[in-house]
Amino acid sequence: MSLNEIQQKKHPAQSAFTLIELLVVIAIIAILAGLILPALSRAREQAVALRVRGDLNQVSLALLMYSDDHEGAAPPVRINCNTDMSTHWCELPTELSEGGYLPRSDKPGMAAHMEDLFNRGHTYKYATPGPCLLNESPGTDYQVWVPDDFPVSQSQTGKYYASLDNSPVKWVVWSMGPRPGSSESQHAKAPLTSESWYKRTGGGGVLMQGLQKNGQWIKSP
């Protein structure tokens, strides 16, 4: 046996990552994470959006039952201007929780326990042309903007309706969407203009469902 063979037996070659190999592995993991994490985020957003649409359908059915029980009437819209309640404009009607149409909540501004999954601490929004309560006191009629080509809702021209007598929309409920502060979600003519609708993952906009005067439903895509 040669001297080299004896030395190799005494000191066998050790297998280990070099620094360069380790850096390559870390880089590959970072690249994979960069590809996977956005996909997971998009999937999560779509899953929440699906749940929100289910909630809006539940609220819509509650409003339909309320209307059937009250000779076709819709609950009043609520607006709050007090500092601590100003973000709770157009909250879901207390009549729905008091009448047992929706679960009750004791949280301020959330009489109905139907929290907007995209706007935590707030209920889904509700609006109807007609009576409005300002800080729980009678105020002027609430006006709903409806585009001229409703229910297609692509037109940027339209009209405000303050009465169910001539409005093509009986009522509408909506979520502020995954980015409540976005320009789409905060659109002055939301929720019935298509410009305010949630259209793609990563974008802003509201998710909307409503009832037309003719009894047909309307929903944002």
125-127 and 169-175 beta bridge pairing: antiparallel
Give per-residue pLDDT as tens, 142-187. Answer: 999 999 999 999 999 999 999 999 999 999 999 999 999 999 999 9
Predicted pLDDT at 10: 53
Predicted pLDDT at 114: 93
Predicted pLDDT at 25: 75
Predicted pLDDT at 4: 55
Residue ranges for the chain with pLDDT beneath 70: 1-17, 33, 36-39
Q: Measured at the alpha carbon of residue 109, what is the angle toward residues 128 and 146, in degrees to the nearest 5?
A: 20
The CA distance from 218 to 144, in Å, is 15
Instruction: Report the predicted TM-score, pTM, of the whole model to 2 decimal places.
Output: 0.82
Cα within 13 Å of Cα(11), Cβ side = 3
Predicted pLDDT at 186: 96
List CB contacts of 50: < 8 A, sequence separation 6 or more.
Answer: none
Give per-residue pLDDT as tens, 110-123. Answer: 888 899 999 999 99
Predicted pLDDT at 112: 87
